[in-house]
């Protein structure tokens, strides 16, 4: 589902790291409805992903429920990578420390977070909206 949203929003790539992030898992492939083949998807250790993004001057934004800034208040018009954690554990300390900043999606209710594919969709479509100037 992350790849489907990423493809729809026109992102450059989906990068996955960690043991729970397998875009080639049959369930993930099914959820992507083929979109995993229309947007570049790569897996690598977290440190390699961070280094590659830094080499390309991409800003790293951690998505975290305890972040001060709301995602719509940030300028997402430049190169940005959203760091999203596993649904049950959130971001690792390593990835949170690597981030240039953090943002949150406001939640009003008993749940303090959304599932990772929904969060990804909200964030990438906000970046798309800002870049389109709407």
DSSP 46: H
pLDDT > 70: percent of the chain:
86
pTM for this structure?
0.87
In this prediction, residues 15-29 reach a mean pLDDT of 68
pLDDT at 121: 96
List C-alpha distances in Å: 2 to 34, 68, 100: 11, 24, 22
Distance CA 133, CA 127 (A): 10
pLDDT at 130: 98
What is the tally of helices (H) and strands (E) in the chain?
5, 5
pLDDT at 54: 97
Distance CA 39, CA 72 (A): 25
Asked whether the predicted pLDDT for residue 87 surpasses 90, the reply is no
In this prediction, residues 76-103 reach a mean pLDDT of 93
Q: What is the CA angle 20-40-56, rounded to 5?
A: 95
Average confidence score pLDDT of the chain: 88
Distance CA 62, CA 55 (A): 18
- Complete domains list, the chain, with CATH: 2-132 (3.40.1280.10)
Task: Pick 43 or 120 by higher pLDDT.
Answer: 120
pLDDT tens, 32-82? 556 555 788 888 999 999 999 999 999 999 999 999 999 999 999 999 999
The residue to which tokens 């909206």 are assigned: 129
């Amino acid at each position: 589902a992350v790849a489907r949203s990423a493809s729809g929003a026109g992102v450059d790539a989906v990068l996955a790291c960690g043991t729970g992030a397998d875009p080639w898992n049959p369930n993930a492939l099914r959820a992507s409805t083929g979109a995993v083949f229309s947007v570049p998807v790569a897996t690598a250790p977290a440190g390699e992903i961070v280094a590659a993004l830094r080499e390309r001057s991409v800003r790293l934004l951690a998505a975290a429920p305890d972040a001060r800034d709301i995602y719509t208040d940030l300028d997402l018009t430049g190169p940005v990578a959203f760091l999203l954690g596993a649904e049950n554990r959130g971001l690792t300390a390593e990835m949170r420390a690597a981030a240039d900043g953090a943002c949150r999606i406001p939640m009003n209710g008993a749940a303090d977070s959304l599932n990772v594919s929904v969060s990804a969709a909200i964030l990438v479509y906000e970046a798309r909206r800002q870049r389109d100037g709407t």
